[in-house]
Structure 1
Amino acid sequence: MSGTKLFRLFSFIIIICSTINVVEANDLKEDFSRPQSIPFPASNPYTVEKAALGKMLFFDPRLSRNRNMSCATCHNPSFGWEDATQTATGSQNTRLDRHSPTIINAAWGERFFWDGRAGSLEEQAKGPIESDVEMNLPLEEAVARLKQVPRYNDWFSRVFGSEGISGDTIAKAIATYERTIVSGQAPFDRWVNGDEQAISNVAKRGFDTFVGKGKCASCHTGWNFTDQKFYDIGLSGEDEGRYVLTDKPTDKFAFKTPSLRNIGQRAPYMHDGRFKDLKSAIRHYVSGGISRASLSEKMMPVVLTESDISDIEQFLLSLTGTDSAVSLPLLPY
């Protein structure tokens, strides 16, 4: 074969390979494309008034026994809808065992809390209000308290009609508001949509490592970067996670895969807030975790360099969106 023909053959192979890589990259990007609308359940459809009422309740300390805590105490919009402390602080300054999970993109959730004990956002909304170590206010007392507020009576009548104020309508309003809390458009999203300048080359390498040899996307999947499942990732400690609920040996030390959206705002990390920064969290996965019977089969040592870890960190930081400022509501009186 002549040199000219050989050159043309090599050029053709390079073009074909490049085309395949572009197609594969575009297909991969589509797996992480944002949805176009927020899903609301038929049993609790969205209305503007219901979300507005839910926002008032979310920020209202009157839903706690001592009138000194609200949902926003642990789910602060300034800290990625978490609270920036290692573990949450509950009633009477009680230090809790777990870090406050974010409520960002909760509309797409399947089960809630780190151990998945709530099957809906409505069920989740009731939990902290009644928990004796959190807001510590039985729902019947919360209902009686709100009924003493004339304008809350007006709001509940407007939104729920004759059903008025009840434990269920309180939960429905809060859950509706929580479903509207969606991470804003992030640099990563602009890159997915075709803007090659939206993220750095370092972040692009980090994405390649994240979905490739790092194997991070085996659990952190889809646009919200979570498969909604529960795994033992080999962390030390006595908290047995989902096992306490299910009594299944495979659920020992298992906790929910968190979303990675706005992750740069949400330190510290893990269910117990043990890691202060993203690199520390990534290094744990690289190590493969503690070897034990319940350890997820997805957990195994991964060969990554410090440069790889830095690249993944930069990719993760590109998932933080430009969110609108959250204004405090005027509470009914």
Structure 2
Amino acid sequence: MTTKIILWLFLAVLCLPIDGMTGALKPFTEVPIPAHNRQTPAKIELGKKLFFDRRLSGDGTMNCGTCHDPNQGFSDGLAISLNYPTTRNWRNSPTLIGVAFQKFLFHDGRAASLEEQALFPMMSAFEMNQNLDFVEEEIRAVPEYVTEFTEVFGDSDITRERIAMAIAAFERTLISRDTPLDRFLSGDARALSPKAQQGYEIFTGKGNCTTCHYGVTLSDDQFHVLNVAENPEHLKDPRIATTRRFVAKLYHFPEYRTLATDPGRYLITKKKEDWKAFRTPTLREIAATAPYMHNGIYDSLDKVIAFLNEGGGKDNNELQPLHLSPAELEQLRVFLEEGLTGTPITLTYPKIP
């Protein structure tokens, strides 16, 4: 065995996480499936059809894939999500890759399951703008769907809950697998390139990244106040202001008419410490899901890393400057781009009945 191989093996063992250790990175193993919504091939296929069915939007122009495009890392490549005609969204479209592992959905964590999450965009006035009573009748009017719902659920009763269950079953198949990091954590010392391994060591060491980014999805499923700057252009758009006030009104925020910033999770919890707090995103497939942050203000990983290296936004209490050198910043970016990109998700688009 050559000296170089011995060195690689030593570094791999040194960097492997200890079981049960807080902040440990873990390779992908299996997808958690809730007992009340077991996966079957027929349910997954039904969910895929519904995911791409434009009947789920009020005017028939949008489907779930509009904002979660398979060719854009199951996001949409825009700073803030697409919207229903004449309106404007206010937050970035998060990737659906790895959502099966998330304890909280949306940037503010207002949904606790994929089944619950699936109905929000359909009802939203600035997203799909669909009436759920109406969409049930639309789906019931399609004989092919009646047959498929009967096969999957045992009878022909088509409800919003079952529509959401089928969509959630499909979304749980959107998994990042076989990344170089997965192989590295499983014992393949050469799975990461030398520069990516240097970035890994920064990620787990000097960069303090595993404080919030750990586990299978590299997320702590918590909410943090980093004081990301508002996008000045968004602040000037009256349609975004309308959406911001509308959402705040729905969540009984007293000063919704004068609200000029995104309160984050505070709208959900009404806790002072959650003002401008947002969920820690997964880092898997991060290279394919730009732009970044809840408002899409950073269009590259270099800008995100620079923001974190500077200690986050003004007056935040969660981050401190990292003082990484230009070479270290580059190594960290290479790790994120190369090490966390897995086998492409293959998808055959369904024939919508």
Give TM-score, length-normalised by structure 1: 0.89
191-200 or 176-185: bigger deviation: 191-200
Map of 1:254 onto structure 2: 277
Q: Distance in 1 between matches of 2:11 and 2:291?
A: 36
Cα deviation code 1:114-133 (max 9, x no counterpart): 00001111010000011111
Map of 2:312 onto structure 1: 289
Conserved? CA contact 1:185–1:323, under 8 Å = no
Is 1:311 equivalent to 2:331 in the alignment? yes
Q: Which has the larger radius of gyration?
A: 1
Cα deviation code 1:166-185 (max 9, x no counterpart): 01000100011111110121
The structure 2 residue matched to 1:235, chosen from 228, 235, 245, is 228
Map of 1:157 onto structure 2: 150
Give the count of matched residue pairs.
313
Q: Distance in 1 between matches of 2:282 and 2:60?
A: 31
The structure 2 residue matched to 1:279, chosen from 302, 321, 334, is 302
Residues 138-157 of structure 1 mapped to structure 2, 5 A cutoff: 138-157=131-150
The structure 2 residue matched to 1:301, chosen from 321, 338, 346, is 321
Q: Distance in 1 between matches of 2:151 and 2:221?
A: 35
Map of 1:26 onto structure 2: 16
Cα deviation code 1:148-182 (max 9, x no counterpart): 11111111111112362101000100011111110
CA gap of 1:166–1:188, structure 2 versus 1, over 3 A, is same
Q: Distance in 1 between matches of 2:193 and 2:223?
A: 32
CA gap of 1:113–1:19, structure 2 versus 1, over 3 A, is closer
Question: Which contiguous aligned blocks of 4+ residues in structure 1 show a shift greater than 6 angstroms?
Answer: 18-21
Shift of 1:220: 0.6
Q: Distance in 1 between matches of 2:14 and 2:191?
A: 20
Q: Distance in 1 between matches of 2:12 and 2:343?
A: 28
Q: Distance in 1 between matches of 2:10 and 2:345?
A: 39
CA gap of 1:19–1:79, structure 2 versus 1, over 3 A, is closer
Cα deviation code 1:30-71 (max 9, x no counterpart): 943324221110111111111110000001111111111000
Amino acid at match of 1:140: D
Map of 1:9 onto structure 2: none
CA-atom RMSD, angstroms? Answer: 2.0
239-248 or 193-202: bigger deviation: 193-202
Q: Distance in 2 between matches of 1:302 and 1:28?
A: 25
Q: More relative contact order in 1 or in 2 (CA 8 Å, sep 6+)?
A: 2
Map of 1:6 onto structure 2: none
Q: Distance in 1 between matches of 2:55 and 2:63?
A: 8
Shift of 1:291: 3.8
